[in-house]
Amino acid sequence: GNSVTQMEGPVTLSEEAFLTINCTYTATGYPSLFWYVQYPGEGLQLLLKATKADDKGSNKGFEATYRKETTSFHLEKGSVQVSDSAVYFCALRSSSASKIIFGSGTRLSIRP
Amino acid sequence: DGGITQSPKYLFRKEGQNVTLSCEQNLNHDAMYWYRQDPGQGLRLIYYSQIVNDFQKGDIAEGYSVSREKKESFPLTVTSAQKNPTAFYLCASSLGEGDSYEQYFGPGTRLTVT
């Protein structure tokens, strides 16, 4: 079945550090891939998405590239800020299912 | 201003009581979803609905019930049969079934049962 695996947290970085949160997936066909962010006490917000191989999603300085050959969608940011502290979820939606499959989430903490 | 509203933000109930969580959307989305989130964990799908008057069980439907009488509303009832109901509940909607359609989330309801 479809699944998403993302690196376990928590991840703690200093402000302006480079961020990578790994995400790999298992799916049949060509799923769409998403990164969602959840700030404390709130619902999830879509951060970025990619719908086909080699697409790059980007938003607010975050980027992720859909790599079919490695079944990965790693999230990166060149210089993190304290305001980026949140939980990040990788997710996929396959063309054969109406559900979105979420990873377990990675908690990111940025210290000033 | 389109979006999803969930009310209330915090809800307290005594054990053995049923409680209904509200979810309303004005995005004209066909599909709606309910998730449960426990501390430090990901999202688990409870129920989802692709069209009015139709819904399907998700991964953890036991002890929950839903209805979809109107396109914009998808209330979730947590029954007394749910053995561990204290959690953060998230409602979401999406435009349709296409694989590129992302889900939009409400702010969540934190339910505490004592």
Written as one string, the DSSP assignment of A47-66 is EEEE-STT-EEEETTEEEE-
> Phi then psi for B47, rounded to 5 degrees?
-145, 155
- Residues contacting B84, CB < 8 A, separation 6+: none
Count of CA atoms in the C-beta half-sphere (13 A) of A68: 11
Residue B7 at interface with chain A, using a CB cutoff of 8 Å: no
Answer whether residue A72 shows pLDDT above 90: yes
The parts of chain B modelled with pLDDT lower than 70 are 1, 97-100
Q: Which of A2, A33, A39, A100 to mutate to test the interface with B (most CBs of B within 10 A)?
A: A100
Residue B92 at interface with chain A, using a CB cutoff of 8 Å: yes
CA gyration radius for chain B? 13
Provide the chain A residues 1-60 that lie in CB contact (below 8 A) with chain B.
30-32, 34, 36, 41-46, 49, 51
From the list A44, A51, A102, the residue facing B100 with the nearest CB is: A51
Sheet holding A62-65, edge to edge: A19-21, A75-77, A62-65, A56-59
CA-nearest residue to B106 within chain A is: A43
Tokens 């109406």 identify what position? A98
Band (A100; pLDDT cuts 50, 70, 90): confident
Mean local confidence (pLDDT), A26-39: 92
Band (A45; pLDDT cuts 50, 70, 90): very high
Look at residue B98 in the predicted model and tell me its pLDDT. 66
Residue B39 at interface with chain A, using a CB cutoff of 8 Å: no
Asked whether the beta carbons of residue B105 and residue A45 sit closer than 8 angstroms, the reply is yes
Tokens 């009581």 identify what position? B17
Task: Count the neighbouring beta carbons within 10 Å of the beta carbon of residue A61.
Answer: 13
